[in-house]
Amino acid sequence: MMQLRTFILMLLITAFAGGLAGWAGIEYGIRHASTQGDLDTVLHRDLHLTEAQEERVAALESSFAKDREVYQTEMRVANKELANALTKGDGNGPDMEHAVQRFHTAMSGLQVRTVRHVLSMRSVLTPSQKEIFDRTVSKTLGADSP
């Protein structure tokens, strides 16, 4: 009986740690691998966009901000579901699997939407602006590091 309790406790701790590590990875990725900061600086300061380009980029950014909030809300809800699943019953069941899958689906959706957003902003640029933009994207995503 004691071995079963120990096993269940260790399983819960492992599942919780895995969820926490996944969440931490996402938070790190959103904050550090995100192209938002550097690209915003390049777009609005360094590329000298025309008024028409500024208007188009502003519309794209507004749309993306709304979509990003939807995905981030979905990830928060999935994390709450995961916490509930881990603290009720044995924690290793369909509720836990559903919460993890829900989180991964939202995270993947946000990543795909972010890439599409970057590409849509790029489509507004002239060829010479694209060169600078592309270098910034490569730098931000680590393509120029070993």
| 91-137 tens-digit pLDDT | 677 888 888 899 999 999 999 999 999 999 999 999 999 999 998 88
Q: How far apart are CA 124 and CA 85, in angstroms?
A: 45
Contacts of 94 (CB under 8 A, 6+ apart): none
More confident residue, 38 or 80: 80
pLDDT tens across 65-96, in order? Answer: 999 999 999 999 998 988 888 888 666 778 88
Q: How far apart are CA 43 and CA 47, in angstroms?
A: 5
More confident residue, 37 or 49: 49
Contacts of 142-145 with C-beta under 8 Å, sequence gap 24+, read 142/33
Q: What pLDDT score does 41 carry?
A: 83
Q: What pLDDT score does 131 carry?
A: 93
Give the domain ranges of the chain: 2-141
Q: Considering Cα of 16, then 22, then 26, then 31, what sign does the dihedral take?
A: positive
Contact present, 136 and 121 (Cβ < 8 Å)? no
CATH class of 2-141: mainly alpha
State the residue for tokens 């919460």: 99
Q: How far apart are CA 34 and CA 27, in angstroms?
A: 10
User: In 94-130, which positions are buried (b, 16+ CB within 10 angstroms) versus exposed (e)?
Assistant: ebbeebbebbeebbeebeebbeebbebbeebbeeebe
Q: 142: pLDDT confidence band, cut at 50, 70 and 90?
A: confident
For the chain, the residue count is 146
